[in-house]
Amino acid sequence: MSDQRKPFVAGNWKMNMDAASSRALAAELAAAAGSFGDVDVAVCPPFPYLAVVAEAVNGSPVELGAQNVYHEPKGAFTGEVSTAMLLDVGCRYVILGHSERRHILGESDADVNRKLLAALDAGLCPIVCVGEKIEQREAGETGKVIREQFEGSLAGLSAAQASKIVIAYEPVWAIGTGKVATPEQAEEVHADLRSLLEQRYNADVAAAVRIQYGGSVKADNAASLLGQPNIDGALVGGASLTAEAFLPIVEAAAS
Ligand code: PEP
């Protein structure tokens, strides 16, 4: 982590929880927030529980995020949710281009880019996910894949817009598998992403953007990952579903 960037830990609840457990977990996190230290914390519940969680974290430093959004502002888009709706229920963040959306639901870089521009226009803070598959890593293509996702997902962003985003490096092979990238593997990609930001924009943008690591982050590996100079926090899936598993990761980010 760097002194310049405030660490940021976000929990991606994916398609888990119900109303009661969402409310209970959010309330537990809000109650613990006094001891968070200097770290931003957000939870990203499924759409139906956003309002429930918003109410439970209201007045606490725990922020709300969504797991997806649609780029059109309103209209005949059955099943989709707009940026205005997310803001209306109290979201500050939105996860975009998660690998499960890219690889299971077929989202392309162009889709992510449309959503990213819409989210920024609306004043949401996007968490843009990038990451390679295992066969791409084994073929030595990690750098190329990350660069293509970076360029495609961030197409058309100004420096001012880019400085407002969060990037999450999430190697697909490490998500939900228990296989975590080594701190060195993760740091290499984070440093590459920061160079891409500097080449495409400037040193200020590169220094400002927080880059989270995601992929089987747990209490016992968080400190070594977050100790890397270009890792500014974590996007946490499985370990965000209980306060016992999530809070030690927040603590590791704060220390
Ligand atoms: C994720 O969902 O973004 C994620 C990183 O999941 P997990 O922590 O379970 O690997």
Query: Atom 1 in ligand 1: which residue has the minimum CA distance?
Result: 237
Question: Given this model, what pLDDT does residue 79 score?
Answer: 97
Helices 219-226 and 183-200, packing angle to 10 deg: 40
End-to-end CA distance of the chain: 10
Q: Is the CB of 235 under 6 A from ligand 1?
A: yes
Beta strand 233-236 pairing with 210-214: parallel
Helix, strand, coil percentages, rounded to 5, for the chain: 50, 15, 35
For residue 57, is it left (φ>0), alpha (ψ between -120 and 50) or beta?
Answer: alpha
- Give pLDDT, residue 1: 67
Q: What is the pLDDT along the chain (255 residues), one digit of tens a residue?
A: 677 899 999 999 999 999 999 999 999 999 999 888 899 999 999 999 999 999 999 999 999 999 999 999 999 999 999 999 999 999 999 999 999 999 999 999 999 999 999 999 999 999 999 999 999 999 999 999 999 999 999 999 999 999 999 999 999 999 988 888 899 999 999 999 999 999 999 999 999 999 999 999 999 999 999 999 999 999 999 999 999 999 999 999 998
- Annotated catalytic residues are 98, 170
Q: Is the CB of 171 under 6 A from ligand 1?
A: no
Domains along the sequence of the chain with CATH: 66-231 (3.20.20.70)
pLDDT of residue 56: 98
What is the residue type of 95?
I
Whether this model's pTM surpasses 0.95: yes
Cα of 62 vs centre of ligand 1, distance in Å, is 19
Per-residue pLDDT at 240: 98
- Pocket flag, ligand 1, residue 240 (CB < 6 Å): no
For ligand 1, pick from 129, 175, 179, 231 the residue to mutate: most ligand atoms within 8 Å of CB. Answer: 175
Angle separating helix axes 142-153 and 109-122, nearest 10 degrees: 50
Instruction: Establish whether residue 215 lines the binding site of ligand 1, counting it when its CB lies within 6 angstroms of any ligand atom.
Output: yes
Is 124 within 8 Å of 95 (Cβ atoms)? Answer: no
